[in-house]
């Protein structure tokens, strides 16, 4: 099969993840704006209590969690295109609805739609790219993260452009929704590869009958929880940490974070292509992330926030989740939509539960709240290291 004819489809699918990168991080950049609109309390220092915004951001994970049990089977049964178009429609509704929301409660409902959109894109884009790039699945899936990282790198510059030209922050949401709709129209007519092209029909039947979860596959699924926790906690709480440490422009942390994740995707793609097994990365990167989190906790300077942003971007958001997903897909090659759903359910539980806990820590910790979030992040990341060590041990046994 000549898969080159599907490359434009892959490009259009990657663009949906470019938009997704904006969707999951833009609320964190405008927490004060949304807190004011949604009636948050004013703190002693004159700023708004952003805990309600963190609760809305957490709803993205809940919406994803609710719909992932359905999006995977829909993708496997009705096709990747249908799953992708549903995701695009829901994401467009999210971008438009969130900026028109008069209260936290209305915003919460639209955030649920945004999370649902993410789940349908997950079960469309990842399986589709694995089926287009049959012999380079790990690398192909890594580039979904590259797409997200590119948009997160550009977002601060877009925010600066909007502010510098006296435009409302709402303009970013409306323009993004319009671009997403255009991309959806293209995807509706572009060709998609046959599903499960990596296995024969006879093998597919055999594998489907034997789809059983082992301790190794369960550990991989749980890594979806821990690695998501690491970057989501940093992504949504670094602004307050930067202010606490005296950083003049906390938004700079986002740029360093995104640059780290972009470089990591390119470096990691080269490593897994030629030098190192993906399961090794699942140990190395979280270990480096934990070390960096503790350095940031003890060295409280503006510069360390920027360095930390780059290192956390590289080690936590540089493709660990994508490698976990592609590893899980290799275990269940004829159920790509379903297993992607399961790993992403784990990721969504993290997004919802962990950010709600972060909201509570931020509110109860007062001025020092961001530092306590760092410690919480380190603990969760260490759990991920232990899980990855177990997976590596099982792979080593299987290779004997």
User: Over 254-278, what HEC string results?
Assistant: HHHHHHHHHHHHHHHHHHHHHCCCH
The 8-class DSSP code of residue 136 comes to G
Residue 48 pairs with which residues in a beta bridge? 42
* pLDDT tens digits, 172-226: 999 999 999 999 999 999 999 887 644 444 444 444 445 678 899 999 999 999 9
* pLDDT tens digits, 253-309: 988 998 998 899 889 888 887 788 888 999 999 999 999 999 999 999 999 999 999
The CATH classification number of 3-399 equals 1.20.1250.20
Q: What confidence tier does 2 reach under pLDDT thresholds 50, 70, 90? A: low
* pLDDT tens digits, 350-377: 878 888 888 888 777 777 888 899 999 9
Whether 104 has a pLDDT exceeding 70, the answer reads: yes
The pLDDT of 125-142, averaged and rounded, is: 83
Q: Which of 146, 226, 148 is nearest to 390 (CA)?
A: 226
Residue reference for tokens 């793609």 = 269
**Does residue 349 or residue 189 have the better pLDDT?**
189
- Secondary element (H or E) of residue 134: none
Structural domain spans, the chain? 3-399
Percentage, residues of the chain above pLDDT 70? 95
Least confident of 109-123, 147-161, 331-345: 331-345
This prediction's pTM: 0.77
- Secondary element (H or E) of residue 197: none
The 8-class DSSP code of residue 332 comes to S
Predicted confidence at residue 204, as pLDDT, reads: 46
Taking each helix axis from N to C end, the angle separating 104-132 and 137-164, rounded to the nearest 10 degrees, works out to: 140
Tokens for 385?
């290291």
Q: Which of 249, 229, 179, 230 is nearest to 29 (CA)?
A: 249
Question: Which residues fall within 8 angstroms of residue 400, CB to CB, at 6 or more apart?
Answer: none
Tokens for 57?
């951001």
């Amino acid at each position: 099969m000549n898969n080159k004819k599907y490359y434009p489809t892959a490009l259009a699918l990657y663009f949906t993840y470019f938009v997704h990168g904006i969707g999951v991080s833009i609320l964190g950049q405008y927490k004060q704006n949304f807190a004011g609109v949604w009636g948050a309390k004013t703190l002693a220092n004159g700023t708004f209590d952003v805990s309600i915004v963190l609760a809305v951001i957490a709803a993205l994970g809940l919406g994803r969690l609710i719909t992932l049990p359905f999006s995977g089977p829909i993708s496997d049964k009705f096709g990747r295109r249908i799953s992708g178009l549903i995701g695009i429609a829901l994401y467009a509704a999210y971008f438009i609805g969130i900026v028109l929301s008069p209260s936290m409660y209305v915003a919460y409902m639209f955030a649920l739609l945004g999370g649902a959109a993410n789940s349908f894109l997950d079960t469309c884009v990842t399986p589709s790219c694995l089926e287009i790039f049959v012999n380079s699945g790990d690398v192909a899936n890594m580039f979904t993260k590259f797409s997200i990282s590119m948009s997160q790198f550009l977002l601060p510059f877009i925010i600066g452009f909007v502010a510098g030209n006296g435009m409302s922050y709402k303009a970013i949401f409306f323009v993004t929704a319009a671009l997403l709709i255009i991309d959806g129209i293209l995807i509706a007519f572009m060709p998609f590869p046959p599903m499960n092209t990596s296995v024969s029909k006879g093998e597919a039947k055999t594998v489907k009958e034997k789809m059983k979860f082992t301790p190794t596959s369960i550990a991989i699924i749980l890594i979806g929880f821990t690695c998501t926790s690491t970057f989501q906690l940093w992504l949504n709480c670094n602004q307050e940490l930067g202010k606490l440490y005296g950083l003049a422009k906390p938004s700079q942390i986002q740029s360093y974070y995104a640059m780290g994740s972009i470089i990591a995707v390119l470096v990691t793609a080269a490593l897994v292509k030629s030098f190192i097994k993906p399961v090794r990365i699942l140990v190395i990167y979280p270990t480096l992330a934990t070390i960096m989190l503790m350095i940031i906790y003890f060295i409280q300077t503006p510069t360390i926030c920027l360095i930390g942003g780059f290192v956390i971007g590289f080690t936590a958001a540089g493709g660990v989740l994508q490698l976990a997903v592609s590893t899980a897909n290799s275990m269940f090659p004829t159920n790509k939509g379903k297993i992607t759903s399961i790993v992403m359910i784990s990721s969504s539980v993290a997004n919802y539960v962990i950010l709600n806990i972060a909201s509570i820590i931020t509110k109860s910790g007062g001025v020092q709240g961001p530092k306590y979030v760092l410690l919480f992040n380190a603990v969760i990341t260490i759990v991920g290291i232990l899980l990855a060590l177990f997976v590596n041990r099982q792979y080593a046994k299987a290779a004997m």
